[in-house]
Each structure stands twice: as C-alpha cells, then as structure tokens.
Copies of this chain bind each other. A is one copy, B any other.
Amino acid sequence: MLAQQRQAAILDRVRAAGGVRVTELAAEFSVSDMTIRRDLEALADRGLLAKVHGGATTVSPGSAHEPGFTAKSVRERGEKAAIAMRAAALVSPGDAIALSAGTTTAELAQRLVDVPALTVVTNSIPVADVFYRAGRADQTVVLTGGTRTPSDALVGPVAVAAIGALHLDMLFLGVHGMSERAGYTTPNLMEADVNRALVEAAERLVVLADHTKWGTVGISSIVPLARAHVLITDDGLDGAARELLSETVPELVVVNPQ
C-alpha cells in the first residue's frame, strides 16, 4: 500500500469516527507506530487533523461550543467502541434504522456495514460516507437534507421535513449530555429539532451515551430520559446515576470496555 493511500485512509477514519489511536492504525495497516505517527504529523501539518496523545482527532474549526474532539475523546474511544458494539447487536438484517450525528453513531455505523439489506437514514454526512464507501448493493442509505453544522450534521426545516415522511424500526441517538432534569441534550438548537423528528419517526429509541455524558447539560433538550426504550452506557457511570437511570429507562445496558 502506498504511503499516500494510507494517509488518505487514516483521514477517512478520523473523519468518520472522530478520532483514532496510533496503535489501532499500526495494527490495521501493518506498519510500525512510528510510521503512523509520521503520517499523522504530515496530515496535521496540512491542518487536516489534530494530533493528540495516543492518536489524532478531527480538527474542530472554531467550534468552541461543540464539545469537540479533544485528547479526551481519543481516550474515550474504548468506551464508545464497546457501546457501539453492543448497539450493533440490536440490529437485524433487513431493518430500517436511523442514526443521528455523532462520534458514537459513526463508530456504530462501521459495525453495521456488513448487515445485509439494511436501510439507514441519517443526517450525518460522515455516517452516510461509511456506508457509501462499503458500497453494498443490498443496503439503502438515505441522507436527510438540510444545512450543514460544523460537526457535519444536516439540520434545519429541510431535514425535519424529510424525516417527517419516514417511519423506522429503530433510532440510535448519540447525545452530548444527559441529566435527570434536562433529559438528553445537545449544544445545537437546530440539531435538537432534527433529533426530535428522528425520535418521532422511529418505533424504538436507543440512546448511546458514555458515562462522561452524565451531568452534562447542552443548551437544548431533545427528549426526557424516560422516552428512551434502551440506554446503552459504560461502567464508568457512578452508582447513584446508575440506580436512577435503571429506574427511569425501561432498559439500561451497561457495557464493560475490556
């Protein structure tokens, strides 16, 4: 494989998943850690991604509000991966599902590309990209319309209207915060609108939220905690929160990242 191709592939992965680890990439491409570091450095020099300890993340251009991909997000990748893995188990061949925008759902998308006859609706360009690149003829990917946010989500009345005409088996919703009072929240008003439309369009709501989301409150509420049918989180969640959630959400799934 050419160095150039490897770098392009790395960039794709960063864009799709929000972050990558050096060791992961080294194993995947069968090269040394040093080579991956040099690739990341080259890409970072061109401003295409941001190097952080342990790997790299997408460069978040001036989006101070969006709790963007900092070094932290690379560390949390293990948790997100575990959550995504568990969520993927809920999907069966032939299902029609929706995926919201977010790094966790992008991670989930990568684990769903092999599910036969899947229909996927999403407002996230990176998520749509994951399926598109897989190029399976038996899968249908519908991108909602709308205007683009800094995090590559499509929002606005066009997106809401497009979703309103659809009906789906299941929605996998990635959120930026969850709390007892505010429910599931996001830092973007328009994105909350779209997410609410997705919730309405889906039979079942599966929320994906690692433990760091607990206590975080974004400016805009999507739906109350109890509206989710399933909440998948990780075991970093403290006991009190776990108890509260297990009483509020019909099905609370706590995964153990390794």
Which residues of A are at the interface with B, using a C-beta cutoff of 8 A? 1-5, 8, 12, 18-19, 21, 52-55, 57, 61-62, 125, 128, 132, 135, 140-148, 154, 156-159, 161-162, 165-166
Interface centre among A3, A53, A61, A128 (most CB of B within 10 A): A61
Q: How many Å lie between the Cα of A141 and that of B156 in the bound state?
A: 11
How near does chain B come to A132, taking the closest CB pair, in angstroms? 6
17 inter-chain pairs at a CB distance below 8 angstroms, sorted by A residue, are: A2-B52, A2-B54, A3-B54, A4-B19, A4-B52, A4-B53, A5-B19, A142-B145, A142-B146, A143-B143, A144-B158, A145-B145, A145-B162, A157-B165, A158-B162, A158-B165, A158-B166
Q: How many Å lie between the Cα of A55 and that of B5 in the bound state?
A: 10
Interface centre among A2, A140, A148 (most CB of B within 10 A): A2
Q: How many Å lie between the Cα of A1 and that of B21 in the bound state?
A: 8
Chain B residues contacting A135 (CB-CB under 8 Å) are: 61
Chain B residues contacting A8 (CB-CB under 8 Å) are: 57, 61-62
How near does chain B come to A4, taking the closest CB pair, in angstroms? 4
Chain B residues contacting A166 (CB-CB under 8 Å) are: 158
Interface of chain A, helix or strand or loop or mixed?
mixed
Give 9 nearest A-B pairs by CB, closest first: A145-B145, A4-B52, A145-B162, A144-B145, A5-B19, A158-B162, A2-B54, A2-B19, A8-B61
For A147, give its contact among B2, B142, B148, B154 (CB under 8 Å).
Answer: B142
Chain B residues contacting A125 (CB-CB under 8 Å) are: 125
A2-B55, A55-B2, A162-B162 known; A154+B148 contact, CB < 8 A: no
Q: How many Å lie between the Cα of A147 and that of B140 in the bound state?
A: 7
A3-B53, A21-B2 known; A148+B158 contact, CB < 8 A: no
Residue of B nearest to A123 (CB): B145
Residue of B nearest to A20 (CB): B2
Q: How many Å lie between the Cα of A142 and that of B149 in the bound state?
A: 11
Chain B residues contacting A141 (CB-CB under 8 Å) are: 147-148
For A18, give its contact among B5, B143, B159 (CB under 8 Å).
Answer: B5
How near does chain B come to A138, taking the closest CB pair, in angstroms? 13
For A158, give its contact among B53, B128, B145, B147 (CB under 8 Å).
Answer: B145
Q: How many Å lie between the Cα of A55 and that of B4 in the bound state?
A: 9
Q: Are A158 and B146 interface neighbours, CB within 8 A?
A: no
For A52, give its contact among B3, B53, B61, B132 (CB under 8 Å).
Answer: B3
Chain B residues contacting A156 (CB-CB under 8 Å) are: 142
